Structure 1
Amino acid sequence: MSQSSGGFFDRLQALPLRGQQAFMAALCERLVPNYALYAETTGHGDVKALRAVLDLVWERLSVKDVRIDFDRQAEKLAELEPPEEDDSFGARRALEAVVAVSALLDTLRGESPDSVLEVSRTSRGGVRAFIELTEGEEDAGKLAALTREHPLMREENDFQDAVLEAAQGHLDRDALKALRRLGRNEGVSNLGLTTD
């Protein structure tokens, strides 16, 4: 299915809030390895802390009455951003992971109706940037065509389709576990990178 069609985003926005949060959490899981690689190679950041925030989100999705201070989690998250002066490719991808989790937290704190679109676009934008970096195509038209057909972008679109499909179902504990496994993608990020 082509993701340029409004259909995908319409379906995404039609999800109940909990479904949107589960969708975002799965996409965030798939961004974590990019953050982990950045932290590993630069010594900046703390992947365990990022994962801990995401773990609490999954807990909240699984256990309705659990009390979690997401304002405090948002503060912790802000401390995990790469240094502002680092404009490297790795830092930008690491920042995307933090921004995506932050958008997800906003929905748990009762704000941000567009967060689900933001997280979807953030993940896709990272793939686009990676393709631009690796393909070195200057012509904008050619690059757009190349990006659309690129295996990584196809995989990203298929992944988001699969997550959306799962998030449209009944999200009991088992379904959430399956969704989380899907998001973890055996430790491979949306850029095809892994920390192994």
Structure 2
Amino acid sequence: QDFQGRGFADFLFSITDTPFLFRDGKLMPTASFIDSLTQTIQIILVFFTPEYGMTSVMTIEADLSGPASLVVDTDVRHYGIIEGTRLIEYLFVQCLVLVFILSMVLDTVYTAIKVHRRWHVDNLAPSTSTVVLMFVDTLSIVMTTCIVIVRLPTKLASASEARRVLDRLDGIDWASSEMRVTDKKEAFFESVL
């Protein structure tokens, strides 16, 4: 089946377990699904573990267009479902992190004021270790704050994102003889890409 003008898509089991398949409306041997005109092969695997609330979408892409060798890239996207008590615990820990960051900010500012006073009042230069520690503290504050800011929205949206992927896949009527196979494939690929 031609997929969004980007190539032909089929389920992996139909390529590995059957001697013939349809490509572009023609019956052909499965062995010729990948031919000399094939530039890219992409395999998409979807995993769900209800016990841990994890959904993973793994993409393996092989680029055949190079002159000599095959280039293979992989991409794994994990969607962890954090809801209820686990979400509250996660938010509590992140709040503690922000409290500790605030205490580090206050300590660093206090140290900077002391260094500034000693420099201008007593003409004493700060020690190298003091300057290095202030720099490390400032870097730690900035990096930790960035991590919390970047991860927090992702964690809050994790359940809805995993639910979105799974609901779309669950909404495909796989057993239906009335829904065309091409429509099922299209719905599958739209769900996971």
TM-score, normalisation: structure 1: 0.30
More helix by share: 1
Q: Which has the higher contact order (CA 8 A, sep 6+)?
A: 1
